[in-house]
Homo-oligomer: A and B are copies of this chain.
Amino acid sequence: MIAKSMTPFVRGSSEIRKMFEEGKKMAEIYGAENVYDYSVGNPGLHPPKEVYDAIDHINHDLDPHMVHGYMANAGHVSTRQTVADDLNKRFGTDYTIDNIIMTVGAGSAINALMKTIYDPGDKQIVFAPYFVEYDNWAGNYYAESIVVRSNEANGFEPDPEDLKKALTPDVKAVIINNPNNPTGVIYSEETIIGLTNVLKEAEREFGHPVYIISDEPYRELVYTDQEVPFIPNYYDNTLIAYSWSKSLSLPGERIGYLAISPKSDDPEEFFGAAVVASRVSGATNAPSLQQLIIDECIDAQVDISYYKKNAEDLYKIVTDAGFTALKPQGAFYMWVKSPVADEHEFIDALKQERILGVAGSAFAGPGYIRLSFCISNETIMNSAESFRRAGNKYFK
């Protein structure tokens, strides 16, 4: 007696799950150290020392009622102030506590946003390849994605002209994920200016806001000297969803925030509605202890250079083996071109060598695969021989 509405969710969820189960099975057979699992984005780095110290301090020195009790649904005032101050310091903005809602990770932030703005039948634009959970989250509110494709020719950055063609008056939001999962690309300032110019024109034409939902869990994970444009400084109706899953290696803890630009349309009304949406979507509030960790660790960060070295080493290994890949600029993913049209065949061939990746089709990016390099550098180095053997099948 599963709801009919659940069917597409259950169906769409099988691919990555299957890979996860496969990885576990292979680890049992060959030993975990002999399986090169590039499938999941589970950070291999431990949280920085500040996190452990903060937990000790919170557990021993703070009032337990404050630590574990209910706070305002939007989150602890002190943490929201800390987040607002941090954004303002880094990006020259004017966020206040009444623009910040602490959330159960970026996923809950995006869900709360979507519940706040979507009616059934509304549309959102996503730029493929993309994290298809965006479709599921919109589906919670019976809204749908319009997919705008980017490709090899434009370096997998979305083209403003394509956005323009796809926009219709029932589009309420556009999702931008920069640095990007699954491609590892950083969208340039030129791209962001192009996209936001198109959206400003659309807002004038449609007479209603077209929000940018800026999904930024990889904001700090940058391996080049590129700047990641801070979108609220380019476009007023910007809503940020952030998570410390990556920057503090806390993905299991579900801690993030939603930031409503103070320059957006009626931010006060939006805040009130989004707090209710966040509460009603089931979470009530972000986990309290984790909020307090953030309050003490806002300046802490995992050692990004570790991922940078991983990116460089894996890129060398993969290209030396004959494959074509985008050199990762940010996030912790490498986007590798399949040497055969159907990338599932390529995934199978890699599996023969005990290498696990995810088919690009799972991100609406067929013909490619995604390798997640947040694993140990040792595993990456040990996989070189396997990649070489896989390459030999295609290029010898």
Contact = CB atoms under 8 A, between A and B. Distances in A.
Interface stretch (A223-231, A265-273, A355-363): A265-273
A320 interface: no
B1 A117 contact: yes
Contacts of A117: 1-3
B287 A253 contact: yes
A246 to B, nearest CB: 11
A118 interface: yes
A69 B46 CA distance: 9
Interface centre among A20, A112, A279 (most CB of B within 10 A): A279
A120 interface: yes
A164 to B, nearest CB: 21
A47 B59 CA distance: 11
Interface in A235-274: 249-255, 265, 269-270, 272-273
Interface in A266-318: 269-270, 272-273, 276-277, 279-290
B1 A265 contact: yes
Interface string A168-179: 000010000000
Nearest to A143: B3
Contacts of A72: 20
Given A4-B119, A5-B120, A13-B276, A59 B55 contact: yes
Nearest to A280: B136
Contacts of A47: 64, 68
A5 B287 contact: no
A60 to B, nearest CB: 8
A110 B70 CA distance: 19
Contact of A273 (B6, B139, B289): B6
A252 B141 contact: no
A42 B70 contact: yes
A251 B283 contact: no
Given A59-B55, A172-B1, A6 B282 contact: no
A208 interface: yes
Contacts of A348: none
A43 interface: yes
A272 to B, nearest CB: 7
A68 B283 contact: no
B2 A252 contact: no
A22 interface: no
A140 interface: yes
A209 interface: yes
A172 B3 CA distance: 10
Interface in A51-74: 51-52, 55-56, 59-60, 64-65, 67-72
B119 A277 contact: no
A295 to B, nearest CB: 13
Interface stretch (A30-38, A101-109, A184-192): A101-109
A133 to B, nearest CB: 7
Interface in A93-140: 104-105, 107-108, 110-112, 115-120, 122, 133, 136-137, 139-140
A74 to B, nearest CB: 11
A9 B284 contact: no
A276 B110 contact: no
Interface of A: 1-6, 9-10, 13, 20, 40, 42-44, 46-47, 51-52, 55-56, 59-60, 64-65, 67-72, 104-105, 107-108, 110-112, 115-120, 122, 133, 136-137, 139-142, 172, 208-209, 211, 249-255, 265, 269-270, 272-273, 276-277, 279-290
